Amino acid sequence: MSDIWLISFVLILALVGLMRWGRTKLPFPPGPRGYPIIGNLLDMPSELQWEKYSEWSKKYGSDIIYLNVLGNSIVVLNSYKAVNDLLSVRSSLYSDSTMLNELLGWGRMMSFMPYGEKWRTHRRAFWQEFNPKNAPDHQPTQLRYSRDLLRRLLKEPQRFLHHIDHTLSASIIALVYGLDVKPEHDPNVERAEKALVQLQEASISGSFVVDLLPFLKYIPSWMPGGGFKAYAERVRPDTIAMREMPYEEGCGLLREGKGNSCVISRSLARGGYSIDSHPDRELIKNVAWIAYAGGAETSRSVVSTFVAAMLLYPEVQRKGQNELDSYLGSRLPVFEDLPHLPYVHAIMLEALRWQSVGPLGVAHRLTMDDEYKGYFIPKGSTVFVNVWALLRDEECHPDPDTFNPERFLKDGKLNPKTLDSNPNFGFGRRICPGRFFAMDSILISVASTLFCFDITKAKDAGGRDIEPDIRYAPASSRQVLPFECSIKPRSAQAATLILNSELV
């Protein structure tokens, strides 16, 4: 029986190869040569894929790299130009990942929707709530949780990564659903963390055989090779629970007249419908879920990276603190102060650049044959943006491994040319509509923490410095692994400001 399966498998691969070979006489983009039948299966890196793709881009002298794994085409874009030409200008051709959309339950997430009317409807609804004009609706809650972060750091500085994760997740949940979050072990926070870990696992190219051979999605989970489907069946309920449960909890409060102003309350109030009869109920639920999943994940990664950078680059920390001291005097920062703090803003932008949140972006699947620079890109190709490589392009970012906020400044002010695009938030029509909201949340947390605390090397039992060991989990969304540092108030006055601050 196993021999029949093997023969059938090889014949299918051969047929797929012949069909593709007959479509065009144009060559595929450059890449490792590979082997018959299995293609580049043995070449595929198991971790830090973005670094290997960048290495291949330099080796083959091409900003577009091609791999074939068991008959499936994988294309990696390694330059701003290639990304703009394909994912912005031709965005209608590039859609989503099989495993994520169809099996794990993330298909209602706007980031994974193919370009079309459904995607446009979701984007309009999201932008209606999260465009910069609505920032005043969000900033009081963002400020409240930035102050909560300060209090937590003052009380238990050794748990700084936990405090960052908790307060940024809590901020999103309060803003989106109008829910108060428990100080510890909040079910909505823990539910989101569990589902997002599963998303990260599934986002890595080649993690599941169905991403390499999409037709396998039709086989039952008990069949040999169907383990990916059993995994999907096990974790899909977590994705669904993350989408459904906080929404229903928020709606329950609104029915009782106890709900706070939030994304779902404002959205459900439009049109004069009741909560349960609203015609856009599913759309509102999806928009809330998108903000919930995307906002906390990006923000906590960047703020954690900021802490690591201040530990490694104390001179940058001092410059930021000097700017804050000069402008604020003896009060905590508020949102109105942020436009007057260009160096602190540049620190945040450099944290986004220095360690990219999503080094391979979101996988796209090509819906039609395409041609680019004289190369043939076949329908069904999985297309990745090497965000990590873009942020280390030495023409745009000299000395890219150094944390240097000055690269975003000109004559002491933010340089508009460096603000035009940030690949962490996507490109063209698919650029993240929540980027302004996310950066507001990050910036107020960065400014508040920098103003109140010194971040220095931890000491061992003998009083010697512990050299920092900053590493990141090798997942599609990079989160810094636990590391040791000392976080102490800069002065007694700073501690008093934290304790006396109002949690508005």
Tokens of 82: 């290639």
Instruction: Count other C-beta atoms under 10 Å from residue 327's C-beta.
Output: 13
CA proximity to 348, closest of 123, 78, 110, 146: 146
- By three-state DSSP, how is residue 488 classified? strand
- Short-list 373, 297, 318, 358, CA closest to 65: 373
How far apart, in whole angstroms, are the C-alpha atoms of residue 212 and residue 214? 6
First and final C-alpha spacing in the chain: 68
> Which residues are within 8 A (CB) of 448 and not within 5 positions of it... i.e. 6 or more apart?
146, 147, 149, 150, 332, 333
Q: Which two tokens stand for residue 101?
A: 């959309």
Where helices occur in 156-277 by DSSP H, the ranges are: 160-177, 187-203, 209-212, 227-255, 263-269
Which residue in this structure is represented by tokens 């990745």?
Answer: 384
Query: Any known ligand binding at 432?
Result: yes
- The tokens describing 219, both together, are 């086989």
Token reading at 274: 């009741």
CA–CA separation, 425 and 430 (whole Å)? 9
Residue 15's CB: how many other CB atoms inside 10 A? 11
Yes or no: say if 7 and 15 are a contact pair by the CB < 8 Å rule.
no
| 177 Cβ neighbours under 8 A, 6+ residues apart | 188, 246, 247, 249, 250, 262, 263, 264, 288, 292
Distance CA 130, CA 137 (A): 9
Distance CA(158)–CA(163), nearest Å, equals 9
Would you list which residues are annotated within the binding site? 432
Residue numbering of the annotated binding site for heme: 432
